[in-house]
Amino acid sequence: MSTRKRLYAGTLAVLLGAATIFNAGVTKGEAESTTKNTYLVIFKDQQGLPAGFAEAINKAGGQVEDKLDKLGAVEVTSNNANFLKEVKKSALVLEAGVENTVYPEQTIEGQTVAVDDLADGADIYNQYMWDIKQVTNNGESWNLPGGTGLSVDGEDIVVGVIDTGIDYNHPDLKENYVGGKSFVPGYDDPIDQNSHGTHVAGSIAAKGRALGVGPDLKVTSYRVFGPSGGAATSHIADALMTAADDNVDVVNMSLGGYDWFQDPAYATKDIVADVQLFNRAIQYAIKKGVTVVGSAGNNAVDLRSPGKLSGDDKGATHRSPSSQTMIRVSAGGAQKNLAFYSNYGVGKIDVMAPGGDLGPNYDSSTGAGRDNSYLALSTVPLFNTNKEIIGHGYGYKGGTSMAAPKTAALAGVVIAKHGKDNLTPSQVKAIIQNSAEDLFKPGYDEQSGYGLINAVNALKLK
């Protein structure tokens, strides 16, 4: 089987005896005339939609379904098998391609416990949350200015969570939840029907029996995933653009996939439409002062070379969404090791954060020696068979999805120390990188980037 097929089938054997930890969106080929396909069309003008854009789409046999005016892009459906060829003839068009589907990253799953199953006064943080202790130096960072997420200027510091939604009624989250929006067709409520987003939110700002890195930070839900399945690139880009317009301070994106450029003539600098759209959305957010954090992915692969990632396939494979202007996070374990599933790569990782693994005795080739206590525990909803929330609890998960939100939370507390809107995203990123604990090779390395994030160091950095 080719490398590309292994990636898209999600069958790379990085884990036995646990859930598969990779899901990638497959970019489909051009449709036959009997099939309606969905496309992204990116125009040369990044500031808005050019005059005559609708005519160009109609002429090529397409119908505009959604407009992302501020990103210079539209989502289009068409039955025309030659739509891409025709629309690219327009002088207005920079790039066009079949719209990709992105999935929430699949995580290693451990047991879940309901709140009612715990003894009164149980302290989840003290007993189980080694990962939050690792980042905060056992809570030492909470004694420093801005360390809990309370801003020195009294303004709320908000982390937007682009994910499966948030269980905003969870007792450890409801105090810090400040609203949300859904971008999922047919689902207006930004509630979580998966658990992934709630776990992420708890790592950021839980305040109760569990504690996040910044227990006084605020979180808002930008739901892009329904109870199952993936999300269109345009919906994620729209969520990121909306978060920026809402003046959030940080955005966490624990999601992603891979884009494979099928044309062997493509150079690695060439980008397909959905990569271009992600890049525009990320830059839009950063220009509006939002620090954007993303997970590196859970396929245990080297991301540094798009050609090598494609293996025996011709062409180039890229992690997406990804950008050098983001903070890209690999996952570590309780022993400050690179987690066995984490992606890595020179120039592709900025820092490492605790994402959990299955312990020092775990053998990924046999599944033996698994210890769930080395996973990351956080807030989760409890569901009935219809994916309706019937309670609230705590659950173990592992993945770069669990590492990224700790970094997003650290970005939030760094901002809280300096005051809202007083640091640029590049300054926030530099503080996090320059204060990281150096691991592995001296200086920068492909596994941890600039090192393991450390809230105390970051808050003490001048």
What is the pLDDT at residue 11? 25
What is the pLDDT at residue 30? 38
Number of Cβ atoms within 10 Å of the Cβ of 384: 9
pTM of the complete model beyond 0.85: yes
What is the pLDDT at residue 319? 58
Q: How far apart are CA 61 and CA 59, in angstroms?
A: 5
What is the pLDDT at residue 310? 55
Is the Cβ–Cβ distance between 454 and 438 less than 8 Å? no
Write out the chain in H/E/C secondary structure: CCHHHHHHHCCCCCCCCCCCCCCCCCCCCCCCCCCCEEEEEEECCCCCCCCCHHHHHHHCCEEEEEEEHHHCEEEEEECCCCHHHHHCCCCCEEEEEECCEEEECCCEEEEEEEHHHCCCCCCHHHHHCHHHHHHHCCCHHHHCCCCCCCCCCCCCCEEEEEECCCCCCCCCCHHHEEEEEECECCECCCCCCCCHHHHHHHHHHCECCCECCCCCCEEEEEECCCCCCCEEHHHHHHHHHHHHHCCCCEEEECEEEEEEECCCCCCCCCCCHHHHHHHHHHHHHHHCCCEEEEECCCCCCECCCHHHHCCCCCCEEEEECCCCCCEEEEEECCCCCECCCCCECCCCCCEEEECCCCCCCCCCCCCCCCCHHHCEEEEEEEECCCCCEEEEEEEEEECHHHHHHHHHHHHHHHHHHHCCCCCCHHHHHHHHHHCCECCCCCCCECCCECCECCHHHHHHCC
What is the pLDDT at residue 8? 40
462 residues of the chain, pLDDT tens digit each: 444 444 444 323 333 223 323 333 333 333 345 588 899 999 998 889 999 999 999 999 999 999 999 999 999 999 999 999 999 999 999 999 888 888 777 777 766 666 665 555 448 999 999 999 999 999 999 999 999 999 999 999 999 999 999 999 999 999 999 999 999 999 999 999 999 999 999 999 999 999 999 999 999 999 999 988 788 889 999 999 999 999 999 999 988 655 444 344 444 444 578 888 888 999 999 999 999 999 988 888 888 766 555 555 554 455 555 667 889 999 999 999 999 989 888 888 999 999 999 999 988 888 899 999 999 999 999 999 988 999 999 999 999 999 999 999 999 999 999 999 999 999 999 999 999 999 999 999 999 999 999 999 999 997
Our CA angle for 75, 44, 295, nearest 5°, is 60
At 182-240, the pLDDT tens digits run: 999 999 999 999 999 999 999 999 999 999 999 999 999 999 999 887 888 899 999 99
What is the pLDDT at residue 34? 59
